[in-house]
Amino acid sequence: MKKELALREGTKDMRRLYKDLAWTWPIISPPEHYIKESEEIKRAILKYSKIPVKTLLNLGCGGGHVDWVLKKYFRITSIDISKNMLKLAKKLNPEVIYLQGDMRKVKLNTKFDAVLIHDSINYMLTKKDLKAAFKIGYNHLKSGGVLITFVEEHGRLKQNKIQYSNRKKGTIEITFIEHYYDPNPKDTTFEGTFIFLIRKNKKLEIHTDRHLGGIFPLNTWFRLLRKVGFKVRKVKDRDAVTDEGKAIPTLVCLKS
């Protein structure tokens, strides 16, 4: 038992949130919190696309919370690598097509009017990964269509950044604590450590999780997107802001 705990504590990329703790996602980050942001995504797609938009490919859909809003406007096909997250997404959005796959490698026999890469882009840990995800988006996009993505972390990460939330659903209450740290600002990754204080019928459970995320200068995003073939523009920033009050850049990428 001690050996197993030591191994788990030493793992930098556990991603339990997408495995045995996936069930907590609709509680700690409910679909209703995505309405305003998703409406902004819809407006950006319709504004900048050069073709009518009826179909959308969502690469890295997670629990389907953005799909929950966007399905009102588009016919959606969504990809995610986590079976647990896909199970949640299918329950929330039975009318959406969900497929398991790696956003860096997936190959579908169709092209879409628009492509979205949302928060999942944070898990591209190298320039090679980042470019591969952009290439998949490009390959599955019709000419005249747009890919929308976001740059949540770029430049230097604020060390020891902490966020927390407290949510309740029925007899379950979860306090979710996030801590971010970059042990080597010269490389392309940073660490996220999550603590879950879960009370079921007031009985406490404590779980920990660790994630690696990717961090790249903004000009790296532009360079890789253009290398793939996109025309890129940074548009009005996303509604979301960082703890420092900095807006998160929205990138609109047009396929000619």
pLDDT in tens, 31-55: 999 999 999 999 999 999 999 999 9
Tabulate helix, strand, coil % of the chain (nearest 5): 30, 35, 35
Contact by Cβ (8 Å): 25, 86: no
Three-state DSSP at 163 gives strand
Q: Which of 218, 212, 228 is nearest to 248 (CA)?
A: 218
Predicted pLDDT of residue 94:
98
Three-state DSSP at 75 gives strand
pLDDT in tens, 129-164: 999 999 999 999 999 999 999 997 776 788 999 999
Three-state DSSP at 139 gives helix
pTM: 0.91
Q: How far apart are CA 116 and CA 112, in angstroms?
A: 10
Instruction: Measure CA 113 to chain center.
Output: 20
Residue the block writes with tokens 């230097």: 156
Predicted pLDDT of residue 93:
98
Q: What is the CATH number of domain 27-154+216-254?
A: 3.40.50.150
